[in-house]
A = this chain, B = another copy of it.
Amino acid sequence: MKLKAKILGLEAGGKSVVVLNKEDAEDLSVSSLERVRIVKDNKESIAIVNTATKLIERGTIGLYEEVRTALGLEGEEEVEVEIAPLPSSVYFIRNKLRQRKLTYREIREIVRDMVRGNLSEIEIASFVTALHIFGLDLDEATSLSRAMVETGNTLKIDRYPIVDKHSIGGVPGDKTTILVVPIVAAAGLTIPKSSSRAITSAAGSADRIEVLMPVSLSLDEMKRVVEKTNGCMVWGGSLNLAPADDMFVRIEHPLSIDPLLLPSIMSKKKAVNANLLVLDIPTGRGTKVKTIGDAELLAKDFMELGHRLDIEVQCAITYGEQPIGYAIGPSLEAHEALSVLMGKTSVPDLVDKATDIAGILLEMSGKKNGKALALEILKSGKAEEKLREIIEAQGGNPKIKPEDIHIGEETFTVRSGKSGYLLWINNSSLVEIARLAGAPKDKGAGVRLHKKIGDVVRENDPLFTIYAERDIKLERAIDRLEESYILGVGERMEMLIHEVKEFPVPKKTFMLER
């Protein structure tokens, strides 16, 4: 059928989508969400069909940008449209809904079609829901990891070993990477670290690192930095390493599920050809993994999956019931990390965690007394020196000082109404406050804690300060304070956390941060 192209001037989130008049669709025997093949001269595109009754006239076909670009169309040209069969991958997804185990070949087809934009949101949502409910076995996790590597770029650096670290996330203020990378690189190991931006948190590693240096590097630039300095700290988003991951996250996030945690993380590591990996699993109330038993089960799965992908994995199960350090929000965290690296301030839990993780990597690569070595590199200033080398190689200002970092000027300090000890901190409420104040978009926004768990608190002591760049956002954060249980001060035997008086809508959170 010949139809006149109508450019809609809208993106469809990476998917190939067209809009047909309902009657034309019926003439083509194609229903909403089935596919058509569109041909223009020697170019063709398979697209998912939406139908419209009024706003797309008979004889026309509305094209989203992805399809317009694929066909190289500029104006209202005529195209040939015919029904296209369902991709095989859709049948494989349907088999998964019937609890069939998928083969490597089938999983690769699903991932490929998704990356090409040939699967609808409905199909991807149903697939990830089925994976969430049935779980992935190790064969499927391996297949998914490999398929996600194959459908993206890979980093090739001719060194051995390539080391990497990763946290499954869920703890606010975790700026460990900013210390670990320079320590490990200063010790002579190669660590091509890529990080993500925040999805639901107040700052992703890429957001906080960006305060210190540019992070949107190309794969070639990343390679050059690593070859020069042994390390880098870049944003993964522009590298196209395992791009399928971002597409899965886009669908998983609104559902608050995360079935692809293992293959997503491991595919990114395989894509940089890592040989040794330490995986941080923050554990405890307010994190993704609530108990040490669960953390060990997860560690076992990561280690076995690593084995299948030729990556040696060790896991660090870490305490995650409160933020790391005192600062939450991109600039506040960058400020804290830089100050620690320069020896200007003491943040014991941050230093402890960073040297633990760096120490494990040093020992995995054959060095002795890893933690002591890491601590020495940090104290001696070699880590700071290495950080500045990396900053310079990535195009930043190697002389940056903590005072150069802009922190939001709108502030509000919450003080304690009573005396006692700080008993608990609600990580997710703290993150919500920081986000309402503007983080991670407004880099200077966030929260700074004045007390941590176990600290003595006197009446009227400051508990935490909210920072914002704009007063309207500060107000928004302050408004939320009254509804939230953020931290608890009391004597050690106070048992009541809060009362449930109305029928609750449980808003269990699950933080997707890879």
Contact = CB atoms under 8 A, between A and B. Distances in A.
B88 A505 contact: yes
A354 interface: no
B52 A441 contact: no
Contacts of A95: 506
Interface in A37-88: 50, 52-56, 62, 65, 86, 88
Contacts of A253: 31, 33
A220 to B, nearest CB: 23
Interface stretch (A129-137, A284-292, A387-395, A446-454): A129-137
Contact of A32 (B13, B256, B441): B13
A91 interface: yes
Interface in A440-462: 441
Interface string A498-511: 00000001111000
A94 interface: yes
B97 A257 contact: yes
Contact of A125 (B88, B121, B134, B256): B121
A254 B33 contact: yes
A250 B33 CA distance: 9
A214 to B, nearest CB: 18
Task: Report the contact-size class of chain A (Cβ under 8 Å from the partner).
Answer: 35 or more
A211 interface: no
A65 B55 CA distance: 9
Contacts of A126: 125-126, 128-129, 255, 257
B10 A62 contact: yes
Interface in A16-34: 19, 26-27, 29, 31-34
A208 interface: no
A180 interface: no
A468 to B, nearest CB: 12
A9 B55 contact: yes
A120 B199 CA distance: 19
A122 B123 contact: no
A488 to B, nearest CB: 24
A187 interface: no
A404 to B, nearest CB: 24
A500 to B, nearest CB: 15
A255 B122 contact: yes
Interface string A105-146: 000000000000000111101101110111000000000000
A95 B506 CA distance: 9
Contacts of A372: none
Given A29-B441, A97-B133, A125-B125, A254 B11 contact: no
Contact of A34 (B11, B90, B254): B254
A52 B94 contact: no
Nearest to A87: B505
A8 interface: yes
A353 interface: no
A50 B199 CA distance: 15
A125 B126 CA distance: 6
B33 A441 contact: no
B133 A251 contact: no
Contacts of A129: 97, 125-126, 129-130, 133
B122 A254 contact: yes
A44 B95 CA distance: 42
A147 interface: no
Contacts of A26: 441
A123 B10 contact: no
A127 to B, nearest CB: 8
A128 B54 CA distance: 29
A433 B505 CA distance: 50
A93 B62 CA distance: 33
A435 B507 CA distance: 47
A436 interface: yes
A199 B26 CA distance: 11
Interface hub of A19, A88, A99, A253 (most chain B Cβ within 10 A): A253
In the A-B complex, list the 5 residue pairs whose CB atoms are closest, starting with the nearest: A125-B125, A26-B441, A129-B129, A33-B254, A122-B125
9 contacts: A33-B254, A55-B65, A88-B505, A91-B507, A91-B508, A97-B257, A122-B122, A122-B254, A125-B129
